[in-house]
Structure 1
């Protein structure tokens, strides 16, 4: 089907951080309803481009090379950490290829590799696990369901919602207590969610990386337990109605996450669907995942978090989150987060037309009910449906299903994409899992799009970060965050903090 693409003239601007709870003006989006039944003329996504923070810049399709940033604020992981202590990570490895100027739909995609994950229990790594050729034997999934029930109270927060259009969500009356200002854990220990969010935001604007987190371990545990309950109260396959903003990999780049909210609107002024990979690689994975979980607790039907391949015990052991938890908190906190990761939903469908997932498709997927039947909490297995949804990649060269160069899951070709869209009457597959130079990249005549939302990834790649905004009439607009090195990032965040203070945010 034909999909028009246009690049409108627009002006980038910085939205001041709203006070918590958010002010009544400007008005939030109207209450959302499930998508209507079949219409005579089905809606088809169309696309446009919005340049955040740099309205005069044209869409780039030619690769720009520069020396990696080695500032104090954003430094890549050391060679010793990547190559000696752990198996060499190849995920998101950028292949520097010179490309000709082409249209958006003709831009090429880089393939990236990563070692095969291995499922195991949530135990700290041993010396044997750190050697490249030693993979722990997978343990059977034994979900730890030790939730305690809490007294339920109605949600008094008068905010707009994205309704999960499934029987599980519609019939669920489960809501954590006090979303408007406070929350309670299953052990009835209340905490002030607004005050915690403000503390986390202050850290983001400061751009300082402290030895410890701004929250107590007891507060982190309380947030994790409350988030776990919210996640398990919603289905594994989330069905959403637009408008919604779709975000790709964040990878612990906390200040860039704040920039993203400044550009697109802080919850609940905008509705969000994140596609996973919140932790690892970046220096502030703890602040990143804590802020996202707090927003999930406060706005459970406006803010959705899918699982990525890095939300897994074995992967976080290798790529930084385990070490950050051990250094800044303790191993018990890491285990608490793994319990939350095991409860994250797997995929989402927007307006019955856009299929959203972190990685890609699976040969084991025969019906959407296969996803709905995935029981949580669960670890990520070594193979099968869940593994593929988090790890697979599209390929321009694959004709059907081929082995993935990452060493895990598959690559799928154009015929697989076309057959999947036809079978389920979808128009677009929206996924993340790969760093792309412009923050987003189309495949297969714009039937699949990759979104990556961490600009200047790891301080090494001069890539943009992108957010795909889906309007009520399914117009998909891409808002871009320009890459900034450490010094420029610090300067911009200080400016945004002053703007927020002047505006009373």
Structure 2
């Protein structure tokens, strides 16, 4: 398989043939199955948060942070859904990982899931771009099962998509998780991709059930205990939209990195990538959306009430039968749920 030829097509925004995708996903699974649940890497490395199918912004990230293989990248998950180019985004990351496996590292997010991608756009996108066939979606979602759960930078920085879990006190408890499966409804694996920090407020010091319907909200004492038990200094994670591109919690113990600018092509937020150099040195490279995004014609984005609902209305239980059925009937607004 000519990976450089694939990259040439992908950088132009061209889709690869279905059979090529099948072969790429198979080779990717062969590589990922050899990786531990807890990946160890060293600085320098650039940490990237949610991308959500915003392919042109991914290309912008490589312009800002440097191309692969000149720069090392750690991606914190949520590569697909909501954006218009999830197929192109995920395919490019797969080929880059296969071409330079020591330069690109991929963590699993909560959207790297069969259930979630059927409700938030990726499933429909695969069908639309590959002639109504769900085979490509199956290739990708089978591959998602093999993505690692977390990463340690320089033996001191814990990196994960979502957050911590009451079922996980030590890294060894993460290492023994059977990760090669669909993300379950609850338990340690679900918590790692779904949980969120919240600055200490009434009742938030410890673990609280999350309004997302999965995972937990956790406070400062939970973070301090986890870092102390595992000899870590801080946590880098993604999973939450940040208007300024990043957000710092608990005096710097937890940092959220968000890498999808103007989220859903209309939220108006900035994005960032976090360049980590070692010895406590780091830099937030903040950026705005790629110029190509402004040329996109997405008429469904004209509903202000839809966006308001995204932020203001309580988040339903994504795993309930009622929610899944309702989502299947309303896929024309899946990008904004």
- 2:185 match: 382
1:394-409 to 2 correspondences below 5 Å: 394-396=197-199, 397=201, 398-409=204-215
Alpha-carbon shift at residue 484 of structure 1 (Å)? 5.2
Cα root mean square deviation, aligned: 1.4
1:400-439 to 2 correspondences below 5 Å: 400-439=206-245
How does the TM-score come out when normalised to structure 2? 0.84
CA separation of 1:483 and 1:202: change in aligned 2, threshold 3 A = closer
3-state SS, counterpart of residue 422 of structure 1: helix
CA distance in 2, matches of 1:489, 1:259: 15
- 1:275 match: 76
Among 316, 320, 333, the residue aligned to 2:136: 333
The answer to which structure, 1 or 2, has the higher relative contact order (CA under 8 A, 6+ apart) is 1
Alpha-carbon shift at residue 486 of structure 1 (Å)? 5.5
CA separation of 1:302 and 1:485: change in aligned 2, threshold 3 A = closer
- 1:452 match: 258
1:176-325 to 2 correspondences below 5 Å: 191-203=1-13, 214-325=15-126
- Encode CA deviations 1:134-183: one digit per residue, 9 max, x unaligned: xxxxxxxxxxxxxxxxxxxxxxxxxxxxxxxxxxxxxxxxxxxxxxxxxx
The answer to whether 1:357 aligns with 2:160 is: yes
Contact 2:55 2:85 in 1 (8 A): yes
CA separation of 1:333 and 1:479: change in aligned 2, threshold 3 A = same
3-state SS, counterpart of residue 411 of structure 1: strand
Which has more radius of gyration?
A: 1
- 2:146 match: 343
Among 253, 277, 286, the residue aligned to 1:480: 286
Q: Which moved more, 1:476-485 or 1:213-222?
A: 476-485
CA distance in 1, matches of 2:247, 2:170: 27
Alpha-carbon shift at residue 379 of structure 1 (Å)? 1.1
Contact 2:39 2:148 in 1 (8 A): yes
CA distance in 2, matches of 1:486, 1:194: 24
Aligned residues: 291
Q: Which has the higher helix share?
A: 2
CA distance in 2, matches of 1:487, 1:267: 22
How does the TM-score come out when normalised to structure 1? 0.56
CA distance in 1, matches of 2:3, 2:291: 32
Contact 1:440 1:451 in 2 (8 A): yes
Contact 2:270 2:289 in 1 (8 A): yes
Stretches of structure 1 that go unaligned for 5 or more consecutive residues are 1-190, 204-212, 491-505
Stretches of structure 2 that go unaligned for 5 or more consecutive residues are 297-337
- Encode CA deviations 1:341-361: one digit per residue, 9 max, x unaligned: 000000001011110000000
3-state SS, counterpart of residue 252 of structure 2: coil
CA distance in 1, matches of 2:68, 2:261: 21
